[in-house]
Structure formats: C-alpha cells, structure tokens
Amino acid sequence: MHATLKSLSHFDHGTVTHLKLEPEQEEFVGPLDLSFSELQNSSHPELEHPFSIVVGVETVGFFILREKAALPEWAPPDVITLHSLRVGQAYQGNGYGKAAVELAAQWILTNRPYVSRLMLSVNVRNVIAKHAYLNHGFSDTGDTYCGPIGTQNILEYKLPFW
C-alpha cells in the first residue's frame, strides 16, 4: 500500500499519540505533546501545517511544515521547513520516512508552487537520521545552527518544477 497525507488541525494530538519512538529517537524529534502545544500557541497558526502519514486506514507518521513568518531563524524566507518528522516505531523500515518527504514535496508543489526548497535541521549527533535524509534527496548546505539540544546541520531538498 502507498502512503497518503492527511492534514491535521492544531488540536488533533490524539490522532498520532500511538506513534511511539525509541528514547534515543525521541530525544531528537521531541515529544508530540510539545509539538502540539507549540502549534496551539503559535502566533502564526495559518503558517504551520501538521500532517499525518496514512497507509490504508493506519496512521504511521507525523510531521509539520512551516512557512513565511513561522519559519525558524536559520531558514531563508523563500523556503518551507520540515519539523518533528516521526514514523512510529512499529512502522519503521517500510519506506514511510521517504514517503513523508515525497508527500511534503507534493504538497508544496501543489499548494505553494513558488517555493523551490524544503529545508530542515538535524542534530549532528543524529547520524542515522542525517544519513536517511541524505539518501532521500536532501543535501547538506554546510550551514549549522545551535539548537536547543546542540548543533544542527541544515539540509535542503530542491523541489522539482512540474
């Protein structure tokens, strides 16, 4: 089965609470409670877009896209950034992380065709995630950012034009 994207509200926490991670993964992604608290308290809620990744009837993952005034300070103004990507532990190893990136790119191409790059930050200690992102089309910009749990590499995914 292929993965699809489902738009969530800033209050749909219950839809994704079952997406548990290993503690060492959770350290880098952050707890879902925090993600939804930030969404609910955002000064730019219309610029933050939470999504679930669905396969059949099962929710297998989650991420947030941010744009314009909701972008993090390390991002240039003409991009969209990817945050809090998680694929539940029970669903890992099935290509759903790669599918999430492809679905995010499709959403951007459809809804924000003027945006040419998807960017994210990944902790330098999170070698497995960085390797996965690089294998799924991201490239390292060479820039770093000091985040809440240490240095982050800034990666970008150049979106194809249709």
DSSP character at residue 22: -
Confidence band, pLDDT 50/70/90 cuts, at residue 24 = confident
pLDDT of 23 reads 87
Q: Model-level pTM greater than 0.75? A: yes
Residue 160's pLDDT is 81
φ, ψ of residue 93 in degrees (nearest 5)? 85, 10
Q: What angle do CA 131, 136, 141 make, to 5 degrees?
A: 65
Q: What is the mean pLDDT of residues 40-51?
A: 96
How many distinct structural domains can be found in the chain?
1
Q: In what order do the strands lie in the sheet with 139-147?
A: 3-7, 48-55, 58-67, 80-87, 117-123, 150-158, 139-147
**pLDDT-derived band at 161, boundaries 50, 70, 90:** low
* Whole-number Å distance between alpha carbons of 23 and 103: 26
Domain that holds residue 108: 3-158
Q: What is the CATH number of the domain that holds 45?
A: 3.40.630.30
- Provide DSSP, 77-137: TT-EEEEEEEE-GGGTTSSHHHHHHHHHHHHHHHH-TT--EEEEEEETT-HHHHHHHHHTT
